[in-house]
Chain A
Amino acid sequence: MDVLFQPLLSIFDQPKMVVMWVIGAVLIFLAIKKEMEPTLLLPMGFGAILVNLPESGAKSVIDALFQVGIEYHELFPLILFIGIGAMIDFEPLLTNPKLMFFGAAAQFGIFFTLGAASLLGFAPNDAASIAIIGAADGPTAIYVAQILKSNFLPAIMVAAYSYMALVPIVQPPIIKLCTTKAERKIKMAYEGKKVSKTTKILFPIIITMIVGVVAPDSVALIGFLMFGNLIRECGVLNSLSETAQNVLANLITIFLGITIASKMTANEFLRVETLLIMGLGLVAFVFDTFGGIMLAKFMNLFLKKNKINPMIGAAGISAFPMSARVVHKMGLEEDNQNFLLMHSIGVNVSGQIASVIAGGLILAFYGN
Chain B
Amino acid sequence: MFEIDFQAFLDALPNIGKGYLGIFAVTAVIVLIVYMFNTIPEKVYEHERKKDEAKKNK
Interface residues of A (CB under 8 A from B): 93-95, 97-98, 100-101, 103-105, 107-108, 110-112, 114-115, 118-122, 124, 127, 193-199, 202-203, 206-207, 210-211, 214-215, 272-273, 276, 350, 353-354, 357-358, 361-362, 365-366
Q: What are 12 A-B contacts defined by CB distance under 8 Å?
A: A94-B38, A100-B30, A101-B31, A103-B27, A110-B19, A118-B11, A121-B8, A196-B44, A210-B33, A357-B27, A361-B18, A361-B19
Bound state CA distance, A127 and B16, in angstroms? 12
Contact of A97 among B6, B13, B31, B41 (CB under 8 A): B31
Q: Is the CB of A120 within 8 A of B29?
A: no
Chain A proximity mask over B20-58: 1 for CB below 8 Å, otherwise 0: 101111111111011101100100110010000000000
Q: Is the CB of A107 within 8 A of B31?
A: no
Kindly provide the distance from the CB of B10 to the nearest chain A CB, expressed in whole angstroms.
9
Report chain A residues within 8 Å CB of B15.
114, 365-366
Q: Is the CB of A196 within 8 A of B45?
A: yes
Please, which residue of chain A has its CB at the minimum distance from the CB of B41?
A196
Report chain A residues within 8 Å CB of B4.
119-121
Please, which residue of chain B has its CB at the minimum distance from the CB of A199?
B37
Bound state CA distance, A362 and B3, in angstroms? 24
Kindly provide the distance from the CB of B31 to the nearest chain A CB, expressed in whole angstroms.
5
Q: Is the CB of A198 within 8 A of B31?
A: no
Report chain B residues within 8 Å CB of A357.
22-23, 26-27
Report chain B residues within 8 Å CB of A119.
4-6, 8-9
Report chain B residues within 8 Å CB of A366.
15
Report chain B residues within 8 Å CB of A354.
23, 27
Report chain B residues within 8 Å CB of A108.
20
Q: Is the CB of B2 within 8 A of A120?
A: yes
Report chain B residues within 8 Å CB of A199.
34, 37-38, 41, 44
Kindly provide the distance from the CB of B16 to the nearest chain A CB, expressed in whole angstroms.
4
Interface of chain B, main secondary structure: helix
Q: Is the CB of A97 within 8 A of B11?
A: no
Given contacts A97-B31, A121-B3, A210-B30, contact A115 B19 (CB under 8 A): no
Kindly provide the distance from the CB of A216 to the nearest chain B CB, expressed in whole angstroms.
13
Q: Is the CB of B12 within 8 A of A115?
A: yes
The number of chain B residues touching the other chain, given as a range, is 35 or more
Please, which residue of chain A has its CB at the minimum distance from the CB of B51?
A197
Kindly provide the distance from the CB of B51 to the nearest chain A CB, expressed in whole angstroms.
10
Q: Is the CB of B16 within 8 A of A114?
A: yes
Kindly provide the distance from the CB of B30 to the nearest chain A CB, expressed in whole angstroms.
6
Report chain A residues within 8 Å CB of B37.
94, 199, 202-203
Report chain A residues within 8 Å CB of B11.
118, 124
Contact of A365 among B18, B23, B30, B31 (CB under 8 A): B18
Q: Is the CB of B5 within 8 A of A118?
A: yes
Report chain A residues within 8 Å CB of B31.
97-98, 100-101
Q: Is the CB of B35 within 8 A of A97?
A: yes
Most B-side CB within 10 Å, residue of A107, A118, A121, A215: A118
Kindly provide the distance from the CB of A362 to the nearest chain B CB, expressed in whole angstroms.
7
Q: Is the CB of B45 within 8 A of A361?
A: no
Please, which residue of chain A has its CB at the minimum distance from the CB of B20?
A111
Contact of A194 among B13, B28, B34, B45 (CB under 8 A): B45
Q: Is the CB of A353 within 8 A of B12?
A: no
Report chain B residues within 8 Å CB of A122.
1
Given contacts A111-B16, A197-B48, A210-B33, contact A104 B27 (CB under 8 A): yes
Please, which residue of chain A has its CB at the minimum distance from the CB of B2?
A121
**Besides the known contacts A104-B26, A210-B26, 13 further A-B residue pairs in the complex with CB atoms under 8 A apart:** A97-B30, A100-B27, A101-B27, A105-B24, A108-B20, A114-B19, A118-B9, A196-B44, A198-B44, A215-B22, A357-B27, A361-B18, A365-B18
Given contacts A118-B9, A121-B1, A354-B27, contact A214 B22 (CB under 8 A): yes
Contact of B12 among A98, A118, A206 (CB under 8 A): A118
Bound state CA distance, A95 and B41, in angstroms? 12
